[in-house]
Chain A
Amino acid sequence: DSGVTQTPKHLITATGQRVTLRCSPRSGDLSVYWYQQSLDQGLQFLIQYYNGEERAKGNILERFSAQQFPDLHSELNLSSLELGDSALYFCASSLGTSGSWEQYFGPGTRLTVT
């Protein structure tokens, strides 16, 4: 158990809809990262937050947004969903300080868009 929790575990929704994925980091970790893993693809970095502030952006679509709250949990919002958004979405956390590069991953949310 990494200490990172993600909800829900599975999500099935229709095209055009909007969903919110939730992540709680490990105790003491200030950084939260979101990744997307599609079929036959590696882990694609989406976005990072550190202590409530956006720190880095990767291949995140404009239809997607995220935020980190004062209690350090994070939410990833996916809107105007398309079939191609079906994927596993992982959240990871780390201390976020220089030299602490190890990230600890949650179990993921499997999103199916029909």
Chain B
Amino acid sequence: DQQVKQNSPSLSVQEGRISILNCDYTNSMFDYFLWYKKYPAEGPTFLISISSIKDKNEDGRFTVFLNKSAKHLSLHIVPSQPGDSAVYFCAATGYSTLTFGKGTMLLVSP
């Protein structure tokens, strides 16, 4: 039973455009959400997070939106750059452990 779902295994975007990565969750106890980026042969790197008391959090080119009623969050990258090409994992927690989605591979082409 997947509690955190990333339904798009991959996404291709052109440089300069917006990348939107989506994530759905089923557990109502989750109240903190995170996005990680992973390059091949490296460990995941923390990118941005959001608490359930907010609906938006921005950090430079990265913005995370949270829709609690829909149990949905999304990561927007604007503008997308070739260096953003990586696998993006959504994660959620209600206590101390993180539950991860299976990831979305983003490819940003020049």
Contacts and interface: CB of A to CB of B under 8 A. Distances in A.
A101 B98 contact: yes
Chain B interface extent, by class: 20 to 34
Given A31-B96, A96-B96, A102-B34, 9 more contacts: A6-B43, A41-B102, A43-B91, A44-B100, A45-B99, A45-B100, A48-B96, A104-B46, A108-B43
21 contacts: A2-B43, A2-B45, A4-B43, A41-B102, A42-B4, A42-B89, A42-B101, A43-B89, A43-B98, A43-B100, A45-B100, A55-B96, A58-B97, A90-B44, A101-B93, A103-B46, A104-B46, A105-B43, A105-B44, A106-B43, A107-B41
Interface of A: 2, 4, 6, 31, 33, 35, 40-45, 48, 55-56, 58, 90, 92, 96, 98, 101-108
